[in-house]
Amino acid sequence: MTDFHTHLLPGMDDGSDSVSTSLLMLDMWRSQGIDQVIATPHFYAEYTTPERFLRQRAKAREELTEVLTEGETYPTLRYGAEVRFFDGISGTEVLPSLCLEGTRLLLLEMPFVRWTERMLGEVEEIRMRGIRPVIAHLERYIDFNPKKLLRRLMEMDVFIQCNAEFFLSRRTSRQALRLLEEDRIHFLGSDAHNTTSRPPNLGQALELIEKKLGRRAIDRLLDLEKLTGVDSEAVRP
């Protein structure tokens, strides 16, 4: 099982603050049976450039890899970014370099305001450029948008990622399970930032899903390794 959305890399953003925190987070994933973790540090176009971001990510990745103990089994690590929407994002040349490595999947964080036509249009434009947006934590936009706008986004040719917390919170659990049953959710993530207030908790969500909907609901989620076609093509910036 893959955790599609995490802030595991040390010192990159408001996620893991050190390699020792990252190691503890990896232990938590391992004990929950998560065998693949995608590191998706925040990318904010107003604060950094893709080049700088990718340099920092490579450095943090190296720091973490160095402290992994030989002979131990860890979840497989892959690298991407959680890219915050910005005006003009669809025309940005370097967008492919921010995709999950080896794919054309872009984890996209939408604005936390009511979406405009222009914003939705840009999401469509990204798709037309051959990049498939994966909308990060869909549940976090529900309070800002009427149902019809959320539906419109979901009906575009995009993938939807939801956080474990959406399933684990009593307030939203039923809604999360319903969307999963309707095949509206394609990837799950913990959006883990640390080991305490926002820990890796995907294993708990999977247990709950299995209890409520059966194993089949989990098996229907997208498997990165099985994606074919444009999404899994290597990206050449």
The site for Fe ion (CB under 5 A) is made up of 82, 191
Nearer to Fe ion, 168 or 213 (CB): 168
Question: What's the closest the beta carbon of residue 7 comes to Fe ion, in angstroms?
Answer: 6
Question: What's the closest the beta carbon of residue 4 comes to Fe ion, in angstroms?
Answer: 10
Cα separation, 81 vs 2, in Å, equals 15
Cα separation, 157 vs 132, in Å, equals 7
Tokens of 112: 């936390």
Helix and strand totals (H; E) in the chain: 8, 9
DSSP 3-state of 110: coil
Question: What's the closest the beta carbon of residue 122 comes to Fe ion, in angstroms?
Answer: 20
Cα separation, 221 vs 209, in Å, equals 12
DSSP 3-state of 188: strand
Question: What's the closest the beta carbon of residue 54 comes to Fe ion, in angstroms?
Answer: 18
Question: What's the closest the beta carbon of residue 174 comes to Fe ion, in angstroms?
Answer: 24
Tokens of 215: 């194993």
Nearer to Fe ion, 82 or 231 (CB): 82
Tokens of 161: 């990622």
Question: What's the closest the beta carbon of residue 58 comes to Fe ion, in angstroms?
Answer: 20
Residue nearest Fe ion, Cβ-based: 191
Cα separation, 52 vs 103, in Å, equals 21
Nearer to Fe ion, 38 or 150 (CB): 38
The residue written with tokens 């990165």 in the block is 224
Contact by Cβ (8 Å): 12, 3 = no
Nearer to Fe ion, 64 or 164 (CB): 164
Residue 78 Cα to chain centre, angstroms: 11
Contact by Cβ (8 Å): 130, 104 = yes
Question: What's the closest the beta carbon of residue 3 comes to Fe ion, in angstroms?
Answer: 11
Nearer to Fe ion, 3 or 191 (CB): 191
Nearer to Fe ion, 11 or 129 (CB): 11
Contacts of 111 (CB under 8 A, 6+ apart): 85, 119
